Amino acid sequence: MSALVTGPDGLLRCPWGGGADDYREYHDTEWGRPVHGEDPLFERICLEAFQSGLSWITILRRREGFRAAFAGFRIAEVARFTEQDAARLLADPGIIRNRAKIEASIANARAAEALAGGLDALVWQFAGDPDRPAPRTPAEVPAVTPESTALAKELKRNGFRFVGPTTVYALMQACGLVNDHLAGCHVRQMIG
């Protein structure tokens, strides 16, 4: 019996990508596709941190609010946020109003700005083995890997917060450092 689900369009997807339209769109167009660039990776680090303890659909549905609140996740701008900006963010109903996560996002912008060589180079040096066998069921998808543990340690060493190995592995999945689309998923076949 296949772990895949068939969408309304007849395409096979990972089980989580076959439900709500938001999930299906994210699954089909973003998750697992390589993300490069300082600001795009910073956005993903922030969103993964905000997701911690919540469902991803909550983040997806507030993504535009996050982008507006955090200056489009432009590192140079977020790194200059002040206490007044943090207070503004705590009052913004368009985002998750969690003081620790807001402060971590601002601190992470400052840490990203200070990185020698850049965030993209740091993150992508921990990409997983592209020849790893495709998982056949969700149970075969790990929550943590040696690479996510090593990347989390390196990010923390450079001043990043809310970047534990599980959160970092979710980042690696979302940004295409690993391909955890299940065997037979139509997206896995597209992105290789």
DSSP state of 47: H
Q: E-assigned strands of the chain?
A: 5-6, 12-13
Catalytic residue among 48, 124, 147, 169: 48
Is position 175 annotated in a ligand binding site?
A: no
Verify whether residue 31 is a known catalytic residue. no
Is position 186 annotated in a ligand binding site?
A: no
Is position 181 annotated in a ligand binding site?
A: yes
Verify whether residue 64 is a known catalytic residue. no
Verify whether residue 26 is a known catalytic residue. yes
DSSP 59-91: HHHTHHHHHHHTGGG-HHHHTT--HHHHHHHHT
Q: How far apart are the first and last CA of the chain?
A: 23
Catalytic residue among 56, 77, 113, 154: 56
Catalytic residue among 26, 31, 124, 169: 26
The annotated binding site for Zn(2+) is made up of 14, 27, 181, 185
Which residues are annotated binding-site positions?
14, 27, 181, 185
> Active-site residue numbers?
26, 48, 56
